[in-house]
Structure formats: structure tokens, C-alpha cells
Structure 1
Amino acid sequence: MSIQTTLNVKLDFYKEEYRPNLVDYHLSGEQSNYASDPLPALLKCEEDNTRHPVVILYNGEPAGFFILHGWEGVKEYSDNKDAILLRSYSVNPKFQGNGIAKQSLQVLDSFVKRNFPEVNEIILSVNYMNIVAQHVYKMAGFIDKGGRVMGRKGELFILHKTL
């Protein structure tokens, strides 16, 4: 079973039934600097079977989206072949402020362990200017070990969470 839950937030692999909610999901100006809207990210998943799209459900309604990317994504940031990369993470602006990000990251570990048992670490990159996201990720247990890379929009901090 792929669904993982806490309170009113669940994680589930993308299903076609979620598409209508993701079509009308556009990040605000500043947020769009750091993550892509779900539909363009989904297109990349269709072209790359190492990208696994995940929907964040809030009270049963799609409220967020991210991708778990295998080795092809990880190798840009780490030499750990047993890691998975969290990318394109976002919460739909109309759902922000409900603690969805915090709750979704709390259930992420068990979701990954259940669906990717070989994975021993979750890695992500976050823009140095995206202070809010850095705080959320660190509160969820991600650690900055000092890794840095240059992204399209500036320096990225590489954060790690051991499973």
C-alpha cells in the first residue's frame, strides 16, 4: 500500500484522477523561482522512469506535489547510490498556511521506507535565498552538511536526511 497518512495529510503516488486538481495549480511569482508547477514536472516524469511523482493530499484533495528521483537525480548532489532525491516540492498556494508542508515531510520517511526499501537517505537541494523552505526542511530533520552546487537561479544548499 503506497498511501501514508498523518492527521489530514496523506502521500500517494500520482494517479490520473489527480490531474484536474493539478492543472489549476500555479505557484506565485517568488515560489515559482524555486519549484516548477506540477504539470511540467509530470511531463519530465513521463520521459524518465527514475522520477516518481507524488501527490500530497489534504482532506482527500490534491494540495501539493513533489518528485522522488532515483540515482539519475541524486548523482548531481551525492555519491550515495542508495539515496533518493526530493525535488519539485511545493504546496498549492490556496492550501498554504495549514501545516501541510510540515505534515507531509513528517510522513515522508515512512512513505519512502515502504515504497523504496533500499533507500537509506533522502537528499534535496534548496536555493540559498529560499529561507522559508530551508526552515521547513530543517524542522523536518534535514541536515546541511555543507554541500553546495550552482543552480539555474543561484547557489543551492544540499540537505540530507538519513533513514
Structure 2
Amino acid sequence: MYESHDFQDAMEYCLPPEQALFTSMPVEVLKTFQCDIFNQPFVVYADQQLVGWFALYTDGSGNMYTNNKQAILLKSFSIDARFQKRGFAQDSLQLLPKLVKEHYKDKSEIILTVHETNHAAISLYRKVGFIHKGENYHGEYGIEMIFHMSL
């Protein structure tokens, strides 16, 4: 989980504009967390360096993408541009079910959305076991595909 000592590394986080279109930068996630404690930020570290970032939406009443009250929503997942293409995204997503089971024992499913044009992310999510069941959400920037992973 994000802690205050991660703040400086979060402020130095880098994403190129074409990737930033699909996610939220750490500073934006932190602002959201200050207003909504259910948006829990997490950091991904490798060799003492912050390499990735995501948030889990933990509200027990569920989320707008599913009727499953035991689902948790993965949001704003990214790997800092300086550390991409090293396997950190796949490794951290493969560890995600264990993290969710450890911290949120009542959850039975992880949900995420990905913009239909973000082919790299779609491929990655499928590779680590997320499934698109044909459900989509019409978001502010177009069609978001809803992916599921049972725990």
C-alpha cells in the first residue's frame, strides 16, 4: 500500500502522453484518495525503486461495472516509462490476486476496464488471466472493455 514516504517517488513518476491518456498519474490518484478512502493507492517497487502504480477501489457496496458486491476494482495501473519492457507489469499483475486475498479477504473477483484501443494493455491483461466477457462501458473517452478475474 502507498505510504507517505513514497510521495517523492510518486511525484517523479514518468509516463509519455500517449500512455497517460489511458490512466491516472500518481498525483491524481492521491488527490482522489484524499476525497474517497475507498480508492486505495498501491506502489510497485523493484530494487528499491518505485516502478509502478495502481489503485484498488475497495467500497463494499460494489462498483458500477458489476453487480458483484465482492468485486474489487483495479484502477490506474501503469509502469513508469523508465522501467517498462522489463516484465514489471506482468509480474505485478500476477501477484495481484495474492495481494487482494491477503488484504481484502471478502473479495471474490477483480474487475478492471481498459480502453478498446489500448491493445498493449488488453494483451497484457489477457496474458495474466483476465477475461473479457463481452461487457463494455461507454465512458467519457469511448468504449471501455470490462475484464474479470475470479479469485
| TM-score, L = length of structure 2 | 0.96
Greater relative contact order, per chain length (Cα 8 Å cut-off, separation 6+): 1
Is 1:38 aligned with 2:26? Answer: yes
Q: How many residues align?
A: 151
- Corresponding residue SS for 2:121: helix
Residue 115 of structure 1, aligned match among 98, 103, 113: 103
| TM-score, L = length of structure 1 | 0.89
| Runs of 4 or more consecutive aligned structure 1 residues displaced over 3 Å after TM superposition | 71-74
Which string of whole-angstrom CA distances, capped at 9 and with x for unpartnered residues, describes residues 20-67 of structure 1?
A: 111011321110110011011111011111111100111121111000
- Corresponding residue SS for 1:84: strand
Q: Give 2:125's aligned residue.
A: 137
Is 1:76 aligned with 2:64? Answer: yes
For structure 2, list consecutive stretches of 5 or more residues without a partner in the other structure. Answer: none
- Corresponding residue SS for 1:124: strand
Q: Give 1:6's aligned residue.
A: none
Residue 48 of structure 2, aligned match among 46, 57, 60: 60
Shift of 1:74: 4.6
Q: Give 1:7's aligned residue.
A: none
2: CA distance, partners of 1:145 / 1:27: 29
Given residue 84 of structure 1, which amino acid in structure 2 is its aligned partner? I
- Corresponding residue SS for 2:17: coil
Worse overlay, 71-80 or 59-68: 71-80
For structure 1, list consecutive stretches of 5 or more residues without a partner in the other structure. Answer: 1-12
Q: Give 2:149's aligned residue.
A: 161
Identity of aligned residues (%): 34
CA distance 1:157–1:73, change in 2 (3 Å) = farther
- Corresponding residue SS for 1:57: strand
- The question of whether the paired residues in 2 share the 8 Å contact of 1:65 and 1:89 is answered with yes
CA RMSD of aligned residues (A): 1.3
- Corresponding residue SS for 1:26: coil
